[in-house]
Amino acid sequence: MNAIISASELASHLAGAHPPVLLDVRWQLSMAKATGEPSFDGRAEYAAGHIPGAVFVDLDRELAATPGPGGRHPLPDLVEFGAAMRRAGVSAGTPVVVYDGGQGWAAARAWWMLRWTGHPNVSVLDGGLTSWQGELSTEVPEPAEGDFQPAPAAAGLLDAEGAAALARSGVLLDARAGERYRGEVEPIDRVGGHIPGALSAPTTDNVGSDGRFLPAEELAARFKALGVSDASTVGVYCGSGVSGAHEVLALAVAGIPAALYVGSWSEWSSDPSRPVAVGPDPQ
């Protein structure tokens, strides 16, 4: 399977002799720090109805560690991550399809985690649950234990120092909204702005009005306009390594490999000694 899969393709695969493992990763960025609003409860949404056979995966608890100096969604303990994936039925030899409520960010984080840790066949449902035309189920499946063992790749992951170096030597894309990049607003983190040298490339511009990814050739043209060439080394960051994973996925659809700075702005901005650029210019 490709990096993304349509709802009709997924329905066909689920009806086949060897259906993929299906993961529901509904999640939503909580602005509770700024607004006092309660956090989104993805598990309740899952319980109310999910694609038949899907297993719920908790982004905050299974795809990330506890927030701290490493950011709001640092890498999870890989032993615990592997155990969570095996409980969900994930095996190295079985395709995996992940979906969320439609935004695609949470599903992309699961896609990136599985791909970076060595799973060879993972796809994101393009458009998420909103694109699914089939019936929903409230039955919670009990999958057989999988055999997936995380084996992180040497490439594909950036730390703060690596992101800063890439902003100078390659192409570092900032996937957040433009106003956060420019430092005009910052609803969550300590300070607004961006890593010096990073280019503003909001991940929301990678999808159409229906929430589905733009065609591969349009995505390739967009990234080319941002300075990405065949010779470019590309990295991405966002607020906390979630929407940035969505941009890495968009780059993959366009045929461009990219690394993710998981700590992202929530880690970078937590250290007052790190430089911060503001305004529309990279520097």
**Residue-range definition of the domain harbouring residue 86:** 4-131
Inform me whether the pLDDT recorded for 257 exceeds 50. yes
| CATH number of the domain encompassing residue 104 | 3.40.250.10
The active-site residue, picked from 4, 238, 248, 249, is 238
The string of pLDDT tens digits covering residues 158-202 is 999 999 999 999 999 999 999 999 999 999 999 999 999 999 999
Residue type for position 33: K
End-to-end CA gap in the chain: 40
Q: Is residue 144 part of a domain?
A: no
The string of pLDDT tens digits covering residues 126-153 is 999 999 999 999 999 999 999 999 999 9
The pLDDT, as a whole number, for residue 37 is: 42
Q: Which of 97, 131, 165 is the last residue of a domain?
A: 131
- Under 8 Å CB-to-CB from 142, ≥6 apart: which residues? none
Q: Is residue 146 part of a domain?
A: no
> Which carries the bigger pLDDT value, residue 34 or residue 112?
112
Spatial separation of the C-alpha atoms in residues 55 and 50, rounded to whole Å: 9
Best CA proximity match to 264, nearest among 172, 186, 177, 160: 160
| 164 shares a domain with 127 | no
The pLDDT, as a whole number, for residue 33 is: 46
The widest CA-to-CA distance across the chain, in whole angstroms, is 56
Quick check: 229 and 264 in contact, CB under 8 A? no
Q: Is 269 a catalytic residue?
A: no
| 12 shares a domain with 119 | yes
Q: Is residue 276 part of a domain?
A: no
Domain tally, the chain = 2
The string of pLDDT tens digits covering residues 57-114 is 999 999 999 999 999 999 999 999 999 999 999 999 999 999 999 999 999 999 999 9
Inform me whether the pLDDT recorded for 35 exceeds 50. no
